[in-house]
């Protein structure tokens, strides 16, 4: 892979990631607003006032786990993993990989035009 190919893959990865993150945020805030409306309009001793916060406490960690798994799968689809150690090269490591041409985790060459 050359530097230009890596930049293009990172650009595509970022573009699709923005759409996915927007969808997850819209879903999360819609759920949060509906929970707030349901709990505020529920009678005093109704169990819905207790159930919604518990549901939210379960959904939040589950959504973080799902986003982590989706991110790893997307990085593999865009070939943004190190061929030697398998770590993700997108995100924070991307500028280091572009500048040095090497994986910032294992040190092996990732870019072929060095």
Percent over 70 (pLDDT), the chain: 99
Mean pLDDT value across the chain:
86
What 3-state DSSP class applies to 47?
Answer: coil
- Judge whether residue 114 has pLDDT over 80: no
91 inside domain: no
**Any domain includes 109:** no
Q: What is the mean pLDDT of residues 51-58?
A: 81
Q: Is pLDDT of 84 > 90?
A: yes
* Residue 106 counted as domain residue: no
Domain membership of residue 100 (yes or no) is no
pLDDT at 9 over 90: yes
Helices 48-77, 3-41: axis angle to 10 degrees equals 170
Contact yes or no for 82/110 (Cβ under 8 A): yes
In a domain, 10, yes or no: yes
Please, which pLDDT band fits residue 100 given cuts at 50, 70 and 90? Answer: very high
Q: Quote the domain boundaries for residue 61.
A: 3-79
Number of domain units in the chain:
1
Residue 88's beta-bridge partner residues? 81
Q: What local confidence, expressed as pLDDT, does residue 82 receive?
A: 93
Q: Where are the alpha helices (DSSP H) in the chain?
A: 3-41, 48-77, 94-100
């Amino acid at each position: 892979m050359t530097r230009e190919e890596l930049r293009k893959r990172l650009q595509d990865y970022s573009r699709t990631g923005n759409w996915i993150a927007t969808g997850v945020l819209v879903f999360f805030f819609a759920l949060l607003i509906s929970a707030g409306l349901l709990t505020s309009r529920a009678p005093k001793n109704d169990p819905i006032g207790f159930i919604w916060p518990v549901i939210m406490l379960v959904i939040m960690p589950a959504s973080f786990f799902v986003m982590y798994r989706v991110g790893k799968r997307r990085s593999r689809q865009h070939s943004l993993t190190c061929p030697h150690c398998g770590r993700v090269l997108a995100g924070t490591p991307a500028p280091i990989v572009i500048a040095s041409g090497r994986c910032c985790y294992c040190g092996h060459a990732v870019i072929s035009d060095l």
